[in-house]
Structure 1
Amino acid sequence: MTLSPTAADPAGERLPAPTCLDDVKGWFFPVDQVLFDWFLGRQQELTEPGDLLEIGAYMGKSAIFAGGYLRPGETFTVCDLFDSPAQDDANSAEMRYSYSTLTRRSFEANYLSFHDELPAVVQGLSSLVPDRVAASSVRFAHIDGSHLYEHVRGDIDSARALLHPHGIVALDDYRSEHCPGVAAAVWAAVATGGLNPVCVTGTKLYGTWGDPGPVREALLEFLAGREDLWHGVEAVAGGQLVRIKPKGAVTTPPHPVSRHLPEEPAPEAVPEQPPVPAQAPPAPAAVRRRSPLRRFALNVLPPFVSKGFVRLRTALRHQA
């Protein structure tokens, strides 16, 4: 599928093609980029099988990043309402407030700026995902859809059914004050739903319904070598949870490369200068020769006599 290098929002505004991941709108912060890279990279090193899933894509920033870890034969499923009706008043109001410029065309144009093929796109409610994704087939799921408790609880239940036993789920907005329904659903899953938290950042909780011990120990070993990330371990709901936050600027892993790299400015043409004509070498200064009489006066006569002779000769020359 080929799209033009630009997309349009619902107002019809032309959006420039992204030349790097930072050009894509979204809230995918550096510390979470490091953790996505670590979890997905570790799964590749251990050759853990499974597909990828994202619920809530916005303009595609985190999907573009995660798509770089898709292996041959795997499927990446992305679900979002995009321009579809939300089918309930509360969800529709949230869509109008938070995502008024969201369109499927913008997401697809952004994604294809970095990857050759689109993911499997499910346009509609996240309740459609279990019908499109096989149970226990997913190794990494990113849940960043609705902020309403009922929908988030449903997304978490879906993730539990779809994840492989070793799978990791990243849950966004688990503590944000503007969406308490997400926090209620996430911590309920930890307290009573069998979700084992591995770590938290300022915006996301990462957990598993499998054994969190090996992955947590490997994560702590990784964090011990990072001078740009602070971490600490907390006891939560009978288990341990690693807290992570940045210490100054965070070094992010390599981003997918856009096919719309900015063009380097052409070097400015230097105007040709007219050739400078060669100058003839200066003529040698004329050598003034003294007359034999003057040389005799200077060399033989006493100084006071020779000086008087020179003055007399000069005065006579000027009168001539």
Structure 2
Amino acid sequence: MATAQATDKNPGELKDVPGWFPPLDQVLFTWFLERQETRGFRGDLLELGAYMGKSAILLGQHRQDGEEFTVCDLFGGDAPDGANQAETAKSYSSLTRQAFERNYLSFHDALPRVIEAPTSVISKEVAPDSCRLVHIDASHLYEHVRDDIGAAHDLLVPDGIVVLDDFRSEHTPGVSVATWEAVLNRGLRPICLSTQKLYGTWGDPEPVQEELLAMLRDRTDVGLSVQKAAGHVLVRTRAQKGMQPPPFPRSRYYTAAEAPKPPTPGAAPAPAAPAVSARRRPRSRVRRIGVDLLPPIVTRAIRRALAPGAQGAAARLSR
């Protein structure tokens, strides 16, 4: 996970919330959660590591009546050890609980249950066998991720889903080791892989994989491949260029850009002022009065004398 800048501006849309939650993972989160809901699959939601709330906001949209959504994060507080403290200072120095809550309340009327503490406390705060989905996106250090995976195993209901972030980023080898250790030695069964996340279960992945593959094969914006390794079926997904996230409600602060105002019906444009000829300038007020007061015969003679052609002839004769 790279470092992102926080902002004090209220987000208008989910894309405006700082953080790392690509369109493909938004599609997969939405699909897994909606699949559970349409099948009457109930259980609480849990996120370990929330940053500015981007994924939490989507998760909160799927909390059903009677379910609890819990978020656990240090939010810039004291880490349990020196390595974790150094990691927090480097990658999350701009993170505050106030920023998370501001972003979350831009989209929801009430906050989730927020635990401002190391994720090591979560097994004492959430009941065993109570969660239908756990998203792990906290520390990148092996020991912490290993323990977070163990907690998820105990907190998930049978066939619940765990999502592990940054399982194959070059700067998070501890997450990779803890993830594949869980797959090879701790009974975790992968369902699918995105560029950033592994989606898995300690239940039977096959029925979910079949439905997921059917959905993905109907999409033209997702690259797909299926591989086998160490007895596991690995469904690999990647976003194609131009992939868009699923529709999501805008925040209470959203304002549409103002469209240009159309012209008033029936209003004719103001006529342009006539150009003044350089050779025919308006008559002065004195000349107009003089012409009006002189006898007509004198007026005609004056006009002939002042005509451009007559003036030119007079000039030539005077040479």
Q: Mark yes or no: TM-score above 0.5.
A: yes
Relative distance call for 1:104 and 1:237 in structure 2 (3 A) is same
- SS of 2:47's partner is strand
2:120 to 121, 127, 132: 127
- SS of 1:36's partner is helix
Unaligned runs of 5+ in 2: 272-319
Residues 211-252 of structure 1: CA distance to partner in whole angstroms, max 9, x if unpaired? 111001111111110111111111122121100011222132
Whether the 8 Å CA contact 2:140–2:174 is kept in 1: the answer is: yes
- SS of 1:199's partner is strand
Whether the 8 Å CA contact 1:190–1:237 is kept in 2: the answer is: no
- Provide the C-alpha distance between the structure 2 equivalents of 1:263 and 1:230, rounded to a whole number of angstroms: 33
User: Could you tell me which amino acid in structure 1 is paired with residue 45 of structure 2?
Assistant: L
Tell me what 1:159 maps to.
152
- Residue 130 of structure 1, CA deviation: 1.1
- SS of 1:77's partner is strand
Whether the 8 Å CA contact 1:52–1:139 is kept in 2: the answer is: yes
- Provide the C-alpha distance between the structure 2 equivalents of 1:231 and 1:14, rounded to a whole number of angstroms: 35
- Give the fraction of aligned pairs with identical amino acids, expressed as a percent: 53
Residues 129-152 of structure 1: CA distance to partner in whole angstroms, max 9, x if unpaired? 111111011001110000000000
- Residue 270 of structure 1, CA deviation: 7.6
TM score, norm. by length of structure 2: 0.79
- Provide the C-alpha distance between the structure 2 equivalents of 1:229 and 1:270, rounded to a whole number of angstroms: 44
Q: Which runs of 4+ in 1 moved over 3 A?
A: 263-276
TM score, norm. by length of structure 1: 0.79
> What number of residue pairs does the alignment pair up?
265
Residues 118-139 of structure 1: CA distance to partner in whole angstroms, max 9, x if unpaired? 0000101001111111101100
Q: Within 5 A, what are the aligned runs for 1:158-197?
A: 158-197=151-190
Whether the 8 Å CA contact 1:64–1:256 is kept in 2: the answer is: no
- Provide the C-alpha distance between the structure 1 equivalents of 2:92 and 2:196, rounded to a whole number of angstroms: 18
- SS of 2:128's partner is coil
1:36 to 29, 41, 60: 29
What is the RMSD computed on CA atoms of the aligned residues?
Answer: 2.1
- Provide the C-alpha distance between the structure 1 equivalents of 2:249 and 2:259, rounded to a whole number of angstroms: 26
User: Could you tell me which amino acid in structure 1 is paired with residue 253 of structure 2?
Assistant: H
Task: Say which one has the larger Rg.
Answer: 1
Tell me what 2:220 maps to.
227
Whether the 8 Å CA contact 2:7–2:18 is kept in 1: the answer is: no
Whether the 8 Å CA contact 1:53–1:140 is kept in 2: the answer is: yes
Tell me what 1:146 maps to.
139
- Provide the C-alpha distance between the structure 2 equivalents of 1:159 and 1:274, rounded to a whole number of angstroms: 70
Q: Within 5 A, what are the aligned runs for 1:235-250?
A: 235-250=228-243
Whether the 8 Å CA contact 2:146–2:178 is kept in 1: the answer is: yes
- Provide the C-alpha distance between the structure 1 equivalents of 2:38 and 2:142, rounded to a whole number of angstroms: 36
